[in-house]
């Protein structure tokens, strides 16, 4: 994702805090921070408070950040380091383009079953969303092509994409399903 993010100039100057505070539903760092269950450290001159990323966004471009506060840190539990993960960015151009759709998948398979699975999609609603119902459906189940196809239908019911200059809502709906198939063919079936 870092290689696809904006351009060398932006990558050298832009910060993760700026990406978070900019609060775009297609900000490229966000899906990964969602599946990593990141906590945002908001601070002012006297106090710190930690906010789980899912509570940090209260609507389109609305943050749980007071006038006096800055984002001072972002923390992620070390346990996430042991999980496999894959990040996706769909955009019209490879370089210097705003995403149409983004996704992050973090997983662990034990004896063919999803022991852990976390999914987050961007570009399918006013904020990045954690795909809780799809995750619940997948958890503990044998990872098969049929399961992934069924999960795609559940994912569709969790999202509310709009049409804009970058794509139609139908295209984003298709992506919500097909990205899971891409994940299956490129990460799961090849490893089996």
Asked if 68 touches ligand FAD (CB under 6 A), the answer is no
Q: Is residue 52 a contact point for ligand FAD (CB under 6 A)?
A: no
14 binds ligand FAD (CB under 6 A): yes
- Which residue of 33, 40, 71, 180 would you call a contact of ligand FAD, by CB under 6 A? 71
Structure-token pair, residue 88? 């996706």
Give the number of other CB atoms < 10 A from CB of residue 78.
7
Rounded CA separation 122/143 (Å):
24
Of the pair 125, 137, the CB lying nearest ligand FAD is at 125
Q: Report the distance separating Cα 84 and Cα 73, nearest Å.
A: 24
Q: Which is nearer to ligand FAD, 6 or 109 (CB)?
A: 6
Instruction: Decide: helix, strand or coil at residue 103.
Output: strand
The answer to whether residue 128 forms part of the interface with ligand FAD (CB under 6 A) is no
User: Is 27 in contact with 128 (CB distance < 8 Å)?
Assistant: yes
Q: Whose CA is closest to 91, among 172, 183, 173, 150?
A: 172
- Give the binding range for ligand FAD (CB under 6 A) out of 9-17, 51-59, 116-124, 160-168: 9-17
Select 73 or 157, whichever has its Cβ closest to ligand FAD: 73
- The tokens for 54 are 């899912």
Residues that bind ligand FAD (CB under 6 A): 5-6, 10, 13-15, 17-19, 21-22, 27-28, 70-71, 96
């Amino acid at each position: 994702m870092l290689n696809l993010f904006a351009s060398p100039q932006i990558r050298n100057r832009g910060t993760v805090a700026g990406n978070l505070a900019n609060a775009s539903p297609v900000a490229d760092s966000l899906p990964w921070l969602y599946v990593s269950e990141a906590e945002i450290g908001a601070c002012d001159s006297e106090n710190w408070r930690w906010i789980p990323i899912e509570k940090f966004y209260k609507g389109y471009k609305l943050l749980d950040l007071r006038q006096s506060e800055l984002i001072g840190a972002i923390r992620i539990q070390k346990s996430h380091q042991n999980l496999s993960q894959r990040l996706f960015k769909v955009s019209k151009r490879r370089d210097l383009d705003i995403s149409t759709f983004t996704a992050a998948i973090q997983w662990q398979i034990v004896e063919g079953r999803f022991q852990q699975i976390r999914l987050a999609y961007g570009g399918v609603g006013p904020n990045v969303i954690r795909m809780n119902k799809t995750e619940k459906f997948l958890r503990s189940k044998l990872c098969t092509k049929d399961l992934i196809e069924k999960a795609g239908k559940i994912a569709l019911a969790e999202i509310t994409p709009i049409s804009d200059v970058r794509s139609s809502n139908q295209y984003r709906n298709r992506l919500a399903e097909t990205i899971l198939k891409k994940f299956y063919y490129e990460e799961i079936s090849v490893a089996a």
